[in-house]
Every structure is written in C-alpha cells, then in structure tokens.
Amino acid sequence: MTGNATGGVLLLVEDDDSIGRLVKQYLEQQDGWRVLWLRSGEEAVAELRRHPVRLVVLDIGLPGIDGFEVCRRLRAGSKVPIIMLTARDEEPDRVAGLELGADDYVAKPFSPRELAARIKAILRRAENRTEDIVLTARDVVLRRDSREVTVRGEQVELTSKEFDLLACFLEHPGIVLSRERLLDLVWGMTYPGGTRTVDVHVAQLRRKLDDPEGIRTVRGAGYKLVP
C-alpha cells in the first residue's frame, strides 16, 4: 500500500482554464501528483478506459456530457475514487453526485489546498487500511486487503465510501451509531455534506447487500448493524 503518500496519476476534468491551471499546478508542485487535465467528459471516459488513475477530480458543469453522466459511466466499470467539483453549494447537486457513486465533493470556490486535503483523506481511507482482516456478519464477508465484499458468496460492487461505511458497521455490530458519528468515522470531522449523506449511503448499502433489515434505523438515534 502507498500509505498517506500522494503521487501517481490523477485525472482532473475541468473546462475552466483558470481553475484547471491552478489545481494542476498546485497538485503537481505541492503534492507530487502527475495531473492529467482534460476539459471534457467524453475525453475523460475514453482516457480511463485506456489508463487507470488513482483518483478523479470531476467538475459537474462541462461541455458535452456533464459531470453526473461522467460519474455514472465511470462507475459502470471502475471503483476509482471520485471527487466532484460543484459550482453551487446546493444539496441536490451534492446528493445527486453521491448517489451516482462519487466519494466526496468540493464546492466552488475552493482553495487548491482544501482540495488537496480532501484528496489525501480519501486516499487514506481507500488505500491505507492497516487492519487487513476479514469482517463478517449476516451473509456479508468484507475483505480489507482486497477491498472486496461478498454476500452469500456473490461479489458486490461498492463505492469506496460505501465500503468504508459497511466496514464501520461491521466493526460495531449491535451498536447504535449516530449519523454524526458515522460522518466523523467515515467522512472525517470536517465533512460539510450533512447527515443526509449518511442516509443516502445506508440506503445504497441496504439495496446492494439485498438486506433491508441488516442495518436498522434506530429512531432519533442513528443506525445499527443487526448481528
């Protein structure tokens, strides 16, 4: 595993010249990334089919297909971490992005430094799990080393946030976890997305694991995994 280090190729999809230049320059000079900067979603989808990258920073407002559609197409074949750039700090945009499988979002205007911090946080969670163990409950088996989840032996595709959230529930079987605590544990304390983000991801987990009762809503308190 690569630890907390950044580096490798990061794909930036942004049609705005000044933002694109600023982000590329900052991430390359401060964080040692090689930033592949593309200005359209079509190019990004085509490029990712040819070359895997460690992370994608994806603007929503793009010429041609928009960031939501790019996210949808990427998620059809890849679990690469995706951070969306939203022009408006509006709940519908954020929720739509997360529902499509984005791992996080950063609202414009943002500083390159803030974006860099989010990138590090996501990679840390996605790649730096040291407790390489198998967690199980009900019919679910989660492998931290290979980041694979199976239900009754069948592999289930989860986004990296869904995976981290499931791991968090599996670490605390039978314990009620508040939405705030889950945000803290899975997204990090400074995450401004609000607790609705947790609800969206829990709903996705219930659907993907085909187990609506496994993660129970505890009224006024949060959620718990029923062992």
How many residues bind Ca ion (CB under 5 A)? The answer is 4
Binding of Ca ion by 93 (CB under 5 A): no
DSSP 8-state assignment for residue 90: -
Residue 64 Ramachandran class (φ > 0 left, ψ -120 to 50 alpha, else beta) = left
Q: Where are the beta strands (DSSP E) in 69-197?
A: 82-86, 104-107, 134-137, 140-143, 148-151, 154-156
Binder of Ca ion out of 61, 112, 173, 188 (CB under 5 A): 61
Q: 39 or 161, CB closer to Ca ion?
A: 39
Query: Rounded to the nearest whole angstrom, what is the least distance from the CB of residue 51 to Ca ion in the complex?
Result: 23
Residue at token pair 């089919």? 49
- Gap between the Cα atoms of 69 and 62, Å rounded: 10
For the chain, the C-alpha Rg in angstroms (whole number) is: 17
Q: Which of 59, 103, 162, 164 binds Ca ion (CB under 5 A)?
A: 59
Binding part of the chain for Ca ion, among 10-18, 72-80, 91-99, 185-193 by CB under 5 A, reads 10-18
Q: At its nearest, how many Å lie between Ca ion and the CB of residue 123? A: 24
What is the contact surface with Ca ion in residues (CB under 5 A)? 15-16, 59, 61
